[in-house]
Amino acid sequence: MTTDATAELEAHGTAERLRAAGLKVTAQRVAVFEALSGHGEHLDAEAVFERVRTCLPTTSLQAVYGVLGALSTAGLLRKIEPAGSPALYESRIGDNHHHLACTGCHRVVDVECVVGEAPCLTPSNADGFQIHTAEVTFWGLCDACQRTTASEPQG
């Protein structure tokens, strides 16, 4: 199968997912969704914009923000907001995973549910809420930042 044929099939799958979520299929929505799909990454809007503008050079950063918002609201992307960082978007949806965030380089990685099934954590008092999601971010230094910190001269 040629690269063009593969891309066409992927775009078709994306179009079906957009329609199933009740969204109109546009070139920008397809490009933004595909910039995040299947990579296991956590990207901010500017990183998504950089990927999208290679195939849609007239797209604006504001348009990317709008599409990210629409895709998140429709449940096709997950938006996470680590403290002190811009909002990040990921394509891993449908589970209640958590995140590890490095305070050095700001890398974010997925970590499976802490214990048991979603929502993984139970508050001491739900105050009448029916809990469906628990969002946990573990903060620390990744291996690379630990090595950098350990190799810096102590002064």
d(CA 90, CA 108): 11
Band (pLDDT 50/70/90 cuts) for residue 36 is: very high
Q: According to CATH, where is 1.10.10.10 located in the chain?
A: 3-80
pLDDT of 76 above 50: yes
| pLDDT at 9 (0 to 100) | 41
pLDDT of 65 above 80: yes
Cis omega (within 30 of 0) for bond into 123: no
Helix (H) or strand (E) holding 153: none
- The model's pTM is 0.77
The CATH architecture that domain 3-80 belongs to is Orthogonal Bundle (1.10)
> Which homologous superfamily does the CATH classification assign to the domain defined by 95-151?
Ferric-uptake regulator, C-terminal dimerisarion domain (3.30.1490.190)
The tokens for 117 are: 């099934």
Q: According to CATH, where is 3.30.1490.190 located in the chain?
A: 95-151
Q: How far is CA 114 from CA 99, 100, 103, 122, in A?
A: 10, 12, 20, 11
Helix (H) or strand (E) holding 108: strand 108-111
